[in-house]
Amino acid sequence: RQEAEEAAAAAAVAAEAKERLLGKLRSLAEGSAESAEDADAKLASLKAAVKEARDAGFGGQELEQAEARQKELKKVVKGLERLEQACVERDVDALERAIAKATEAGVPAAALGKAQQALAEERPKHEAWLHLQALREGASTEQLQDGIAKAKTAGVAADKLAEFEDLLGKSERRDQAEAQLRQAVESRDISALKEAIALAEQLGVDGKQVKKATKVLKEEEPKQKAREQLAQAIAEATIDALKAAIQAAKEVGLEPSECAKAEEALRRAEERERLQAVVQAALQESLSVDMTDIDALRETKEKLSDVLKEAMAVGVPEGSLVEADQRRKKLHNAIEDLKGSIRVFCRMRPLSSKEIDQGDTQVTNANGSMSLDIDNKDEGRSNFCFDAVFTPGTQDEIFEDCRDLVQSAVDGYNVTIFAYGQT
């Protein structure tokens, strides 16, 4: 009986131990883990409990469930480890994969929270970064500015943005070079075109625009040379240079307005050449004039004076007119010599209004251009002769006869004019 009681007691102890162990297995199998460390600890405890149950010869459904749970916990541990690693790296793709694997492995929803929060924070950065990367090739300045601004707002790291800020700087400089190129093409200025094309090629401006500017440069270079040739020819003012410059300008297609100044300069140069020839012809003709014939001298002198005035008016160099001018002076003074050294002119003044009111009458009467009569009631009519007689109202004629004396004074001769009479 005692043996039976002892056996019963031992069986009861064994049953209690078994129940306690199975309870432990159930507890460990049903528990959840919030972290990889927690899951590792539970997995270790479950492994130990399973081993203990096997060593004790236990079997049954509880042991099978514990072993199945052991396998699940291994997956959970691995999933949690992935989650923790992804949270450290904060890579969007890694986070998405880790969350998917953890969910598949049965990681509790509470354990996914940290990774899901990290994903929510990193996804805008990731999307902004992907958008920026898409702008690496061929993006405009405005697109880069917008992309960088959005990336900064999303919190993309400054070291990642450095590359794109450098790209933005290059794009802005390229835009400036492009604007400079367009302006140079519009102005068609040679130096501006050369500078703008070189800068555009250096900064990678659109090849079509560079090609267009290069074409304009090739068109404008010969035109610019023609303009410079025109300016030089105008400065030289020689017929040959002007003709050559005008011809060159027409060949390269300069506008007529650009040649107008040179054509006018050519016309003046040809006129100067023509008048130089006319002056020389008049000079040669004057050499054969009869120096004793005052009328011939006057005609020759006037002709020489006229052509000299015309020549000086169009800019014929004074040096080429010296001989003709000296000849004119010689003719002029020959005329004055023929007229005589002393000349007496008489001008018949008109009656004043006072004299007319008093009933006075004119007592002088001109007889041609060199004599006049004076009526004297007591002595009768008297006749007087002069070098010239001028009737009332002949101021221009008086000056015309005195003008040659003024010219003599200008030429360096001494001249005296006395004017006297009743005032």
- Give the integer Cα–Cα distance in Å for 36 and 16: 33
Asked if 256 and 229 touch (Cβ cutoff 8 Å), the reply is: no
Q: How far apart are CA 373 and CA 363, in angstroms?
A: 8
Residue with tokens 């020489």: 304
Q: Which residue has tokens 């003074």?
A: 333
Q: Which two tokens stand for residue 198?
A: 């070189």
3-state secondary structure of 364: strand
pLDDT at 57: 57
DSSP string, 31-95: ---SSHHHHHHHHHHHHHHHHHHHHTT--SHHHHHHHHHHHHHHHHHHHHHHHHHHHHHT-HHHH
Query: CA neighbours within 13 Å on the CB side: how many for 106?
Result: 14
Whole-angstrom Cα distance, residue 266 to residue 271? Answer: 8
Q: What is the CA radius of gyration of the chain?
A: 62
Tens digits of residue pLDDT in 76-126: 677 777 877 887 877 878 888 888 887 777 777 767 778 788 878 878 887
Task: Give me the tens of pLDDT residue by residue for the chain, a chain 423 residues long.
Answer: 566 666 666 555 555 555 555 555 555 555 555 555 665 666 566 566 666 656 555 556 555 555 655 666 677 677 777 877 887 877 878 888 888 887 777 777 767 778 788 878 878 887 887 788 888 777 778 888 888 888 888 887 888 888 888 888 888 888 888 888 889 888 888 888 888 888 888 888 888 888 998 888 888 888 888 888 899 999 988 999 999 999 999 988 888 898 999 999 999 899 989 999 999 999 999 999 888 888 898 899 999 999 999 999 888 888 888 899 888 888 888 887 777 767 788 888 888 899 899 989 888 988 887 889 998 877 788 999 888 888 887 788 888 777 777 887 888 878 888 888 765
Report yes or no on whether pTM surpasses 0.75.
no
Is residue 275 within a helix (H) or strand (E), and if so which, with residue range?
helix 256-286
Of the candidates 65, 354, 114, which has an alpha carbon nearest to the alpha carbon of residue 73? Answer: 65
Write the single-letter amino acid at 104.
E
**pLDDT for 300:** 92
Q: Which tokens hold the place of 160?
A: 């990642």
Residues 6+ apart with CB under 8 A from 184: 192, 193, 195, 196, 197, 213
pLDDT of 291 reads: 87
